[in-house]
Structure formats: C-alpha cells, structure tokens
Amino acid sequence: MLPNIAQISIFWIVQASALLVFTTPFRWPLLGLWAVSHFLRAVGLTLLFHRYLAHRAFKMNRVARFVWAAIGTAAMQKGPLWWAGHHVNHHKYADRDGDPHSPMVSGFYYAHIGWFLHDTRHDTLEASNPVIRDFGIAPELALLERFFIVPPIMLAVGMYLAGGWPWLVYGFCLPTMTLAHATFAINTVNHMFGSRRFETVDESRNNPFTAFFAVGEGWHNNHHRFQRAARNGFYWWEYDLTWYTIRAMALVGLVWDIQPVPARIYDEARAVKHRRRAQALPSVVDAAIPFELADEAE
C-alpha cells in the first residue's frame, strides 16, 4: 500500500496528464482508443464493483469475476473491496450524516473528489461491512485490493509499448481522467441535477448525460429506489451499457440469477406519474379561467 501523500500526488499527476492531449497530434483512431479505454473500464467498475459486489444483482463464475475486477481496478479508483464497501455505506446513509460523499452533507468538492483523496487507508471499512465480510476471503480479490496500483501501471505501460506517446495519452491519461469524473459525478451531479421518477428519501436523480459517460449509472433515482436490480435503466430508452453487457454474458452462461426490476416498482412509477399529472391539472385549469370568473368562483 502506498503512503497517503504518494496516492494523492499520483492521483493529481494523472489528472493533470490529460492536458497532454494538447501536445499530441489528433487522429480519429485515437478518439476510438479513448472510447474503448474509458467505456471498457467503466463497465468493469459498474458491473463488478457496483452491481455485483455492492448489490449482488447477479451471480457469475470466478474467472469472469476476476477479469472484470482487474479491468475495473485498472480505472485507478482503488481496490474493488474499498470501492464497493464505501458504496454500501452511501446507500445506508444516503444524503445523511455517514454518507461518504453527499453534496448535501459535505459540499460539492468534498463529495466529488475530497472524500476519495482523504480516505486513502484501506482499513477504514468495518469487518462487518457486507462486501468485506463476504468477498474479502476471495484471494484473487484480496490480491487486487492490496496491489490496486498494479493494473493501472500495467495498462499505462502496455499502451506506451503498443503505440508510443499518443497511445499513452489517449489510451491511459485522458480516459483515466474522464472516467474518474464520470464516476464521481454520480455522487454529485446525480444528487443535484436531473429528474426524480421515484420519491426516495434522498436526493438521487436520473440524468441522461451522466448515464452515457458512466455506462448506465446516471439513472440514479431508479437505482436508489430498487438497488438490487441488475439494470439501472428501468426502461428500454434509458441507455445502460452495463445492463447490455450483463445480458450478453447471460446468453453464454457467464452470468445467472439476474435480479429484475419487480412489477410493483413499475406500478409505483406509473402511480407517481399519474398523481403528479393530477396535481398539475388544477393549475392548468385555473390559468384558463378569466380573472373575473375566478373571483366569482371563490
């Protein structure tokens, strides 16, 4: 494990390294390289760290689990157990004291980046945390947790060896930065801006912009209403690349026991929609009544 100051320094150096795109001649294939590096690692985070480890939304075989865990760890967002364990605490205390990253409790900066940099120790999660308790015994996950810095280094070196400086910049530096903020935005943007299909106790919101860059995680209000579902985009028009990946893996037997969105949740969504329409209707009718008639009606 790296000392705190080393972890913080490396984080900011990699963030700043994204500016190297301005010194690197642009070619369209490099944009494709950025997309593959960003979105593939994003699926690793959301599929394995989030929906599998934190929420048990499906089951998968051990080999597939390790592959996706390694891909997610290459995103340079610390180890899978640390990541998933803190996410469990987020749901436990959502937008209340105890939430590790709530803009309502600790402000935008701390909720977006500060908490991640401040909590650089890996022993801050209790042994009773369900992620630590149930998955900490898996040696391959424990190995990634302990040496979480290795996969990002391997990716960076591999990019440089494969394509030199341009590949390093567009295949590691830039997408590591964009992926970090796509992930962090779910903690901040999605608790401040967007729509609320469900009336949850927290401030979670659905946001199609963050859903695109965070491969489906932006349907955050959906997720807070029913955390166990394997899909965050509850409807076909809600883009969710992670869900499409889970479905594809299920077709070849790598994933099973997928947790669906219950019918009662869809019923609730329809009921909320109808109630809001009914509540909005009187104001529309009143607006159409002439001022004099409105006085007589009173």
The domain segmentation of the chain, as residue ranges, is 4-261, 262-298
Residues forming a β-bridge with 219:
206
Please determine, for residue 169, whether its predicted confidence score (pLDDT) is greater than 60: yes
Residue 45 CA to residue 244 CA, distance in Å, equals 15
Residue 298 CA to residue 292 CA, distance in Å, equals 10
Query: Residue 4: which pLDDT band, with cuts at 50, 70 and 90?
Result: confident
Residue with the larger pLDDT of the pair 126 and 104: 104
Q: Going by C-beta distance under 8 Å and a sequence separation of 6 or more, which residues neighbour residue 288?
A: none
Please determine, for residue 110, whether its predicted confidence score (pLDDT) is greater than 80: yes
Residue with the larger pLDDT of the pair 289 and 250: 250
Please determine, for residue 6, whether its predicted confidence score (pLDDT) is greater than 90: no
Please determine, for residue 283, whether its predicted confidence score (pLDDT) is greater than 90: no
Query: Residue 282: which pLDDT band, with cuts at 50, 70 and 90?
Result: low
- pLDDT, tens digit, 9 for 90 and up, residues 215-260: 999 999 999 999 999 999 999 999 999 999 999 999 999 999 999 9
| Mean of the per-residue pLDDT values of the chain | 92
Q: Quick one: tokens of 154? A: 């391997």
Query: Residue 2: which pLDDT band, with cuts at 50, 70 and 90?
Result: low
| The pLDDT of residue 291 | 39
At CA 156, angle to CA 150 and CA 157, rounded to 5? 90
Please determine, for residue 177, whether its predicted confidence score (pLDDT) is greater than 70: yes
- pLDDT, tens digit, 9 for 90 and up, residues 150-160: 999 999 999 99
- pLDDT, tens digit, 9 for 90 and up, residues 25-84: 999 999 999 999 999 999 999 999 999 999 999 999 999 999 999 999 999 999 999 999
Mean pLDDT in residue range 100-104: 96
Please determine, for residue 105, whether its predicted confidence score (pLDDT) is greater than 50: yes
| The pLDDT of residue 296 | 38
Residues forming a β-bridge with 255:
60
| The pLDDT of residue 180 | 98
| The pLDDT of residue 281 | 79
Please determine, for residue 297, whether its predicted confidence score (pLDDT) is greater than 50: no
DSSP E strand stretches across 100-183: none
Please determine, for residue 183, whether its predicted confidence score (pLDDT) is greater than 90: yes
- Lowest pLDDT segment from 101-115, 116-130, 207-221, 231-245: 116-130
Maximum Cα–Cα distance for the chain, whole Å? 81
| The pLDDT of residue 280 | 87
| The pLDDT of residue 127 | 77
Q: Going by C-beta distance under 8 Å and a sequence separation of 6 or more, which residues neighbour residue 32?
A: none
Distance of CA 218 to the CA centre of its chain: 7
Long-range Cβ pairs for the range 272-276 (8 Å, 24+): 272/197, 272/198, 272/199, 273/197
| The pLDDT of residue 3 | 60
